[in-house]
Amino acid sequence: MMERIGKAFPVSPAHDATYHRFRDGQVIIGKIESIQGEIGQEQKALVRVGEELVTARLQTSLQVGDSYLFEVKNENGAVYWKPIDKQLEGRLPVSLQGEEAAQYLLQKWKLPKDVYPLLRFALAEKIPITKEELFLIASLVEKLEHKKEGLSVFRYMLAHRLPMTKDIFFSLLAVKTNPPLFQQLQYVESRLASLPVHQPEPVEALRRYVGQIANTPIYAYESLVKLLQSLQQPEQKAAQQLLNRLGMSVPKIAADELAKLQAAMEKRDFAQVKQQLQLLFASFDEQTFFERFQTVFAAYQDGLLPDEEQRLFSAALADSDIALSMFHLLKQSLLKLGFGDEAKIRRALKTSTLSESALTSLKSLLLQALENVHEPTLKETLETLLYHINGQQLLSQAEGPIQHLFMQFPFRFGTEQTDAAIYWQGKRRKDGKIDPDYCHIVFCLFLDQLKETVVDVRVQQRIVHVTVFNHTPSLLKLANALQPMLKERLALHGYRLSALKTETWKQEKNPVDVAFHKRYSEVDYRI
């Protein structure tokens, strides 16, 4: 299992800007700050590359204060920086930008014109790159239908010093261009369901897991607990009838049993909630309960429940803290997708305690199933889903004091399956902990009525500014009506709402686009 995950995710995101530099064959523009050593002997130069100062061995006399186009050479185990080709007279004037150097390399290396913008970007941003990497980029982009998206992904890889590999490219491209994750899971589920019976166990395990991963109404358990509480209230009869619709014939529940169930729900410990329900109802099955809940919810939405049940079910939904449940669902989704697999492996290598059963996630099950699937179309579908998960992990990284997190996860909202995409950016304090006073969150939901809705949240000194992007004309009126409740909920956690605005939805505000935008780059390392 460890080998399979290692192959699927061969590199962690770089922790600093010095990752993977400098190597034989790379080209880069640098400015000579100072030179040590006598003429005719091996000289060492302090070269400024962007914000970095790099000590480089030289084989040619150069002029302090001038900029040069260098090629990194490894000769007999020693790494040298040498000015590229004497057709440029060995050096470039300080005022020369990357365009001329990029044009020169494009011709010298006989590169396709498609990679010219990337080459120019790499030189201008002082990012080292090799001829082989540029040919790899050209070969992969050439096969794409949407070349612009592919070049955008490579630009991100360059800016973040990620190795130029096919797997990393397709992982990031999957996040940027693929359909919502819930649609991919639905397609995978239908493809697996069409297979003949008696498949190898890894394929069967994946089939069962995909059928469950997005099938949890986030407020179903909360509503159930509210209905159980109502058995002690005047609306007991309506509560009993609703519980019967949910397949739960309820005897009298002891006060201490109900108290344990309520305590587990307050903590959003859904595993404990499930355990308590299994003690109360011997035949309780989570999957059956969720299916029945969705049926009742659909009847409620259509106004088909009897009046008293309609009113009680509405009250149970209104009392549910969906936001808190959503937070816990997010944490669970990270683990279900496989975000924690690499961390488990690292711990296991130190303690030798990890068993294969501990790695039950969508990612680990995909890896196992891929070894047992030979039908080309299905295999490609599973690989694409695996790329999507890996791409999310590559977009979640630390840059200097800034921590980034991107995730897209499926969930059920009412009777609809949808996706939530979240980009979160925050800074770390000196003690390494996340500073709760400052962060930026971009949250995107694909809703049945409102369609694609983006919420941009900025927090400065615990003052919160919220902007909702959507095309629905009546959204402002609805937002104003809900603003007092939002203020109250934020205040409970020590935050103050500064403004709540609605604007026409903008493409560049999508969490995926924000995550791919070039981010923190204040770097000053000495090598």
Q: Across-strand partners of 415?
A: none
Q: Do residue 515 and residue 408 come from a single domain? A: yes
pLDDT of residue 369: 93
- In Å, how far from its chain's centre is CA 130? 29
Q: How confident is the model at residue 147 (pLDDT cuts 50, 70, 90)?
A: confident
CATH number for the domain harbouring residue 33: 2.40.50
> Distance of CA 249 to CAs 253, 280, 286, Å?
11, 10, 15
Name the token pair of 136.
């790899």
- Structural domain count, the chain: 3
Question: Do the domain assignments include residue 363?
Answer: no
> Residue-wise over 273-285: b if at least 16 C-beta within 10 A, else e?
beebbeebbeebe
C-alpha torsion sign, points 443, 447, 453, 455: negative
Range 157-183 average pLDDT: 89
Q: Give yes or no for a contact between 286 and 274, defined as CB atoms under 8 angstroms apart.
A: yes
Range 40-52 average pLDDT: 79
Q: What percent of the chain has pLDDT over 90?
A: 17
Q: How confident is the model at residue 85 (pLDDT cuts 50, 70, 90)?
A: low
Highest mean pLDDT among 417-426, 453-462, 470-479: 453-462
Cα torsion at 301, 304, 308, 310 (round to 10°)?
A: -10
- In Å, how far from its chain's centre is CA 19? 21
Q: Give yes or no for a contact between 102 and 125, defined as CB atoms under 8 angstroms apart.
A: no
Show the DSSP H helices in 161-269 as ranges.
166-177, 181-193, 201-213, 220-230, 236-245, 255-266
Which domain-ending residue is among 66, 95, 124? Answer: 95
Q: Across-strand partners of 78?
A: 75
pLDDT tens digit sequence for 436-468: 899 999 888 877 778 888 899 999 999 999 999
Q: What is the DSSP letter of 401?
A: T
pLDDT of residue 6: 45
Query: Phi/psi of residue 353, each to 5°?
Result: -120, -5
Element (H, E) at 436: strand 434-447
Question: Do the domain assignments include residue 370?
Answer: no
Q: How confident is the model at residue 414 (pLDDT cuts 50, 70, 90)?
A: low
pLDDT of residue 465: 95
pLDDT of residue 406: 87
Range 505-509 average pLDDT: 60
Q: Would the pLDDT of 475 be above 90? A: no
Question: Do the domain assignments include residue 305?
Answer: yes
Show the DSSP H helices in 395-510 as ranges.
475-492
**Separation CA 110–CA 89 (nearest Å):** 21
pLDDT of residue 385: 93
Residue with tokens 């990270």: 334
Q: Across-strand partners of 75?
A: 78
Q: Do residue 409 and residue 302 come from a single domain? A: no
Question: Do the domain assignments include residue 155?
Answer: no
Length of the chain: 527
Nearest to 450 by CA among 424, 476, 483: 476
**Separation CA 494–CA 491 (nearest Å):** 5
Q: Would the pLDDT of 173 be above 90? A: yes
pLDDT tens digit sequence for 241-288: 898 898 887 667 788 888 888 888 887 777 788 888 888 887 788 878
Question: Do the domain assignments include residue 39?
Answer: yes
* Three-class SS state of 234: coil
CATH number for the domain harbouring residue 404: 3.30.750
> Distance of CA 296 to CAs 212, 246, 301, 309, 421, Å?
19, 7, 9, 10, 28
Q: How confident is the model at residue 40 (pLDDT cuts 50, 70, 90)?
A: low
Q: Would the pLDDT of 15 be above 50? A: no
Question: Do the domain assignments include residue 361?
Answer: no
Q: Would the pLDDT of 327 be above 80? A: no
Which domain-ending residue is among 40, 72, 95? Answer: 95
Q: Do residue 312 and residue 404 come from a single domain? A: no
Q: What is the mean pLDDT of the chain?
A: 80
Residue with tokens 């859904």: 270
| Cβ-based neighbour number of residue 424 at 10 Å | 19
- The edge-to-edge listing of strands for the beta sheet with 496-503 is 398-399, 402-413, 416-428, 434-447, 451-460, 463-469, 496-503
pLDDT of residue 322: 66
Q: Exposed/middle/buried for 89, CB within 10 Å: 0-12, 13-18, 19+?
A: exposed
Which phi-psi region, left, alpha or beta, contains residue 220 (left: φ > 0; alpha: ψ -120 to 50)?
alpha
pLDDT of residue 381: 93
Higher-confidence residue: 80 or 191? 191
Q: Do residue 406 and residue 314 come from a single domain? A: no
Domain of residue 85, residue span: 21-95
Q: Would the pLDDT of 220 be above 50? A: yes
Question: Do the domain assignments include residue 88?
Answer: yes
Q: What percent of the chain has pLDDT over 70?
A: 84
> Residue-wise over 466-500: b if at least 16 C-beta within 10 A, else e?
bbbbbebeebeeebeeeeeeeeeebeeeebebeeb
Show the DSSP H helices in 374-526 as ranges.
376-394, 475-492, 511-516
Nearest to 121 by CA among 196, 50, 211: 50
pLDDT tens digit sequence for 88-114: 455 554 445 568 888 888 988 898 888
Which domain-ending residue is among 261, 284, 319? Answer: 319
Question: Do the domain assignments include residue 228?
Answer: yes
Q: Would the pLDDT of 326 be above 80? A: no
> Residue-wise over 15-51: b if at least 16 C-beta within 10 A, else e?
eebeeebbeeebbbbbbbeebeeeeeeebebbbebbe
